[in-house]
Amino acid sequence: MVRGMAASGVPADPAWRAAFEEVPRHLFVPYYYADGSGGGRLLWSGDPDPVARGRWLRGAYADTALATRMRDGRLVSSSSQPSLMAGMLDELDVRDGDRVLEVGAGTGYNAALLAHRLGDGLVTTVDLDPEITESARAHLAASGHRPAVVTGDGARGCPQRAPFDRIIATCALPSVPHAWVDQCAPGARILTPLATGLLSLRVTDGAHGRAAQGRFLYTAAYFVALRGAVAAGGDPEDVTGGVPRHALRNDLFQFLLALSAGALEPEEAYALWRRERRPDRDRYGVTVTPDAQWAWLDDPGGPHTWPLRGA
């Protein structure tokens, strides 16, 4: 798995490569659904059939996302694609001694990688679902790691463990919770999925309080939605009138639709997207202040800005 990731250039930091080599992923996915989306056969470590058990083990070390928990027909927890995790951890740019909050405990695998790199005492992972945190805690203990695993609303951060130098979310949101910015030290970095992209923010002390600003990474990212005080909401509204079919099938246009949901009409979004020559994700960014939060194209003070849904 790690050799395959290295061939694609991740992780770039040797410390993260060592973490992926030494933290056994199979301990965190004792069962998962074969097709990756919560359907198909459930593969598990205790299957009496050795062929099925071998398939489970091979899948645990495939560079793919694994669906691990369903509820009422909906996916509520998964283990992300390792190469995507590696790219996010590289982008997080941690330093020795950094205090990190992970929002979305999942299986506990990402928290174990962080704990391997930084030490258990500097890592906190939070999830709303007590069943998820209980299993994550057990998986972490089996791997020899004991970071703080907190059951709570990730949108509210974890004030009792603040301040943080880095916050990384592994769940999708419609906007950046102000609590995260408030619980960061000046100069901290926040990395979070938003609107099928990955947003990297730098936190600063402003004249009127803590603020954050940054751009999206070039890559796409799809994660299970956050549940709690701030929810990711539904998919962007179904649109047909005024928007050509080729645009509706385009990933970058879908990204703009999700990022501007509730602020731009689909026809407005299409006109902007076409006029600006189908901009890549890394031309977009987000600014967070104590009083407002908005997305922008190219320039936070430029002509193409709009408020984020749920901010």
- The Cα 22–Cα 164 span in angstroms is 26
Active site residue 83: no
Joined tokens for residue 59: 């899948």
Q: Any idea which residue has 């994660």 for tokens?
A: 223
CA angle, 224 as apex, 2 and 244 as ends, to 5°?
Answer: 105
Cis, peptide link before residue 163, omega less than 30° from 0: yes
Strands 123-127 and 148-151: what pairing? parallel
> Are the C-beta atoms of 37 and 66 separated by less than 8 Å?
no
Cis, peptide link before residue 11, omega less than 30° from 0: yes
Angle between helices 251-259 and 266-275 (to 10 degrees): 130
68: number of Cβ within 10 Å: 23
Question: Which one is catalytic: 77, 79, 80, 260?
Answer: 80
> Are the C-beta atoms of 125 and 147 separated by less than 8 Å?
yes
> Are the C-beta atoms of 65 and 82 separated by less than 8 Å?
no
Joined tokens for residue 234: 């539904």
Active-site positions? 80
